Structure 1
Amino acid sequence: MTYTLWGSAHSLYTGKARSYLIKKGLPFRERYPSDPEFASRILPAVGHFVVPVLETDNGEIIQDSGDIIDFLEQRHAEPPLEPQSSVQQWVSLIFDAFGSEYLLPLAMHYRWSYRDEQETFLRAEFGRAMVAGVDRSARRESAARTMEFFAGFLPNLGVFPEVIAAMEDSYLALIDALDNHFQHHPYLLGGRPCRGDFGMMAPLFAHLGRDPVPAMLMKTKAPNLFRWTERMNAVPISDGEYPGYGEDYCGQDTVPETLIAVLKIVFADWTPGLKADADCFNAWAAHKKAGDVVSRSGEPQIHPNVGKVEYPWRGVTMKRGSAPHMLWMFARAQDLAAGSAGEAGERLNALIEQVGGQEAMELSLAKRIMRDKNMLVLA
């Protein structure tokens, strides 16, 4: 079977799904939304304009990068791309949610706050995704209209002039720690990628590792991290840069010390926003019932919010739309931790304490969130 991945090179979440398909060794072809069949077949099936979308040879259509990975993991056992031990599974889920959701505002900031410096590149990228077969100037003009729409997301993501310095400082600290890790290890948890690697590829490839301004920043400040983005888009699991490393996850359910340093940064920066999101969601959900769409407007949204959040962070005040999708992804790590018992549970609890994750892991939602028909709803 040859799969079809509907997406684009500059799409954040397409980068996650594409990397998974490559590392899984699954044959696929990539098609762009500018293809007329996207509008005639895929858009009506999904219900709204969004990528990535996976299509099978027999017409099954799966939307959402995480759902695509879940679907394919059930179909294809080899090669294994998820550790079986509880501590490493938890770490993988944490990085999946952190990369897929928390890093989204940073990725969008570096794309749109530096738009002037990379305008021609962005017009080419958006143009090839939106319009096929026209002359270059017409494609660029068409792209400009779409770009205005996406650039308008920044306020809802909390990107304002007064917080940009703090955001950039946090990003530099994160990529410095990741750079040190990838000097010693090819992937997050050892010799093969996991779900967490694919989640981190979402922002760290299409936006932060490919757009001209952040790509140069990554190459000059974190070259080992940039090399990891290249490795994640290469078919082989092993890399000659690490002779004798092997293709297994770290033994005995351990986590590299270099990754523990990254996890400490993750929870220090992530926890204040997670808490604000949980409080906002609980206030909104108090008067809602099972089956209600998770959205302030009541209409399905690609990145839904249920109100505004405001919280202190790194010496500034963050103000943005809430992020229930992030809570939904984070709950997978919470569920795994809650279900871990015995010696494995003790080791996981010790790691959570070591990296400063207790407060985040103890957050509780008044109602559970689930995905149904390509949207978030209350369970």
Structure 2
Amino acid sequence: MMTYKLYGLPSSLYTGKVRSYLRKQGIPFIEHGVNHPHYQKTIIPSVGRFIMPVVEAADGTLIQDGADIIDYLEEHETVPLPAQPESTLLKTVSYLFELFGGEGLLRPAMHYRWSFDEQLDFIKDDFLCALVPPGTDQQTRDGNFDFASQRMRAASKSFGVTEDSKPLIESSYLEFLQLFAQHLHNYPYLLGGRPTMGDYGLVSALYAHLARDPVPAKLMREKAPAVSRWVERMNAAETIDIEYADYHTDLIAAGQIPDTLKALMIYIAQEYLAELEAHVAFANNWLRNHPELKTGTNGLDDPAARFIGKAEFDWRGLSLRTGVLPYRFYLLQRIQRSYEQASETEQQQILTLFEETGLAAVLRLKTDRPVERINHLEVWGELRPEITR
């Protein structure tokens, strides 16, 4: 295997997804911060924005975005623990958890990072270690962190973190921890004996924010130690079978989905489906108001911009307004593509499971234009054939 370079931050949710994959597969890599001169001078201009993670191959190829990076590595390396299940049903479920882990858990991830001043010293030091060049004077360090933290606190509101929502975020997240811990008492990973895309999606928030930042890390260790151990396994190259003696690397049978996994899927339906539906509806209205939008662009003045507006929805009895990111539709399409490419028998199995868990809408919830990624940026594709102009 060639040695790759990973550019990101220790505290970065999306960097954590890729770092975990590289470690689990035993792929050699060197991790650099975004303060590295090569990132600043070469990578930012190449990918078109300040964003992470970025992986650079030995031949100079750049891959940006966790999903794209893992897809690239699955294709170009012989990995010992393939992240893509052979079963189409399991693959579809795996993509569901990839979406939820990276996007649906952003609310607790942002709340537990930015709502607790008692951990701010850790957050500051953790951010700056890879954000500013070594030897930077204290005044400049303070200024950099103040700027970054103000942006992140504002972003928290865009993900639905408000004074009214904070208690509900905490109770909802605790419910998730308990459900996931119960599942992990029988399985080392989400779908059985090895991590899949669903695990890598979940570890995004559960490691970088919720297992490293002091306040949520304490909560996880005390309330869901099985999840804490899973986070450790997800960041270890070696096989850890202390509580799963002689467990093989096979995945669960597609026809034997355990109740604990179904319970997690029901939780996703209750926690995230209303937001996803509101975002798709907003995006379609936005697209219809921009009929002049050029295919292959994001339709905005800034080609690197990620938000197109805010959508309102009911969440656990509370009205929330959250930012609409087309990138989420890119991940949603992976679920739908897996379903649509399945055989008729497999499609029926997938539909039955998603109906049973309240998630059938996920299989048909689409934007009028698909989201594509071209030159490391999210752009709108051609209008879908079934959509009347």
TM-score with structure 2 setting the length: 0.92
Q: How much has 1:185 moved relative to structure 2?
A: 0.8
| Mapping of residues 99-114 of structure 1, within 5 Å | 99-114=101-116
Q: Across the two proteins, how many residue pairs are aligned to each other?
A: 376
Q: How much has 1:335 moved relative to structure 2?
A: 2.1
**Which amino acid in the other structure matches residue 211 of structure 1?**
D
Identify the match of residue 334 of structure 1 among 327, 333, 336: 336
The equivalent of 2:386 in structure 1 is: none
The equivalent of 1:300 in structure 2 is: 303
| Mapping of residues 337-352 of structure 1, within 5 Å | 337-352=339-354
Q: How much has 1:326 moved relative to structure 2?
A: 1.2
Identify the match of residue 163 of structure 1 among 151, 165, 186: 165
Structure 2 CA distance, aligned partners of 1:168 and 1:366?
A: 35
Identify the match of residue 152 of structure 2 among 144, 150, 153: 150
> 1:86, 1:253 within 8 Å by CA — same for their partners in 2?
no
SS of the aligned residue for 2:373 comes to: strand
Structure 2 CA distance, aligned partners of 1:300 and 1:178?
A: 38
SS of the aligned residue for 1:318 comes to: strand
Structure 2 CA distance, aligned partners of 1:59 and 1:292?
A: 25
| Mapping of residues 178-193 of structure 1, within 5 Å | 178-193=180-195
Distance 1:362 1:171, change over 3 A: same
Q: How much has 1:281 moved relative to structure 2?
A: 0.5
The equivalent of 1:201 in structure 2 is: 203
RMSD: 1.7
Structure 2 stretches of 5 or more lacking a match? 382-389
Identify the match of residue 295 of structure 2 among 287, 291, 296: 291
The equivalent of 1:69 in structure 2 is: 70
Structure 1 CA distance, aligned partners of 2:36 and 2:254?
A: 48
> 2:89, 2:254 within 8 Å by CA — same for their partners in 1?
no
The equivalent of 2:387 in structure 1 is: none
The equivalent of 2:257 in structure 1 is: 255
The equivalent of 2:234 in structure 1 is: 232
Distance 1:227 1:283, change over 3 A: same
Structure 2 CA distance, aligned partners of 1:308 and 1:152?
A: 14
Structure 2 CA distance, aligned partners of 1:94 and 1:221?
A: 25
**Which amino acid in the other structure matches residue 77 of structure 2?**
H
Distance 1:357 1:252, change over 3 A: closer
Q: How much has 1:77 moved relative to structure 2?
A: 3.4
For the pair 1:58 / 2:62, whether they are aligned, the reply is: no
Q: How much has 1:138 moved relative to structure 2?
A: 4.7
Distance 1:122 1:261, change over 3 A: same
Percent of aligned positions that are identical:
36
The equivalent of 2:326 in structure 1 is: 324
Distance 1:136 1:224, change over 3 A: farther
Structure 1 CA distance, aligned partners of 2:64 and 2:127?
A: 20
Structure 1 stretches of 5 or more lacking a match? none
SS of the aligned residue for 2:367 comes to: coil
SS of the aligned residue for 2:156 comes to: coil
The equivalent of 2:88 in structure 1 is: 86
Q: How much has 1:253 moved relative to structure 2?
A: 5.3
**Which amino acid in the other structure matches residue 18 of structure 1?**
R
Identify the match of residue 248 of structure 2 among 242, 246, 249: 246
> 1:191, 1:237 within 8 Å by CA — same for their partners in 2?
no
Q: How much has 1:318 moved relative to structure 2?
A: 0.8
Structure 2 CA distance, aligned partners of 1:22 and 1:214?
A: 24
Structure 2 CA distance, aligned partners of 1:44 and 1:358?
A: 41
SS of the aligned residue for 1:251 comes to: coil
**Which amino acid in the other structure matches residue 11 of structure 1?**
S
The equivalent of 2:27 in structure 1 is: 26
For the pair 1:364 / 2:366, whether they are aligned, the reply is: yes
> 1:4, 1:56 within 8 Å by CA — same for their partners in 2?
yes
The equivalent of 1:314 in structure 2 is: 316
> 1:290, 1:377 within 8 Å by CA — same for their partners in 2?
no
The farther-off stretch of 221-230 and 245-254 is 245-254
Q: How much has 1:137 moved relative to structure 2?
A: 3.8
The equivalent of 1:273 in structure 2 is: 275
Q: Deviations over 1:280-307 (max 9, x none)?
A: 0001111344525336x432346x2222
Distance 1:242 1:350, change over 3 A: same
**Which amino acid in the other structure matches residue 37 of structure 1?**
H
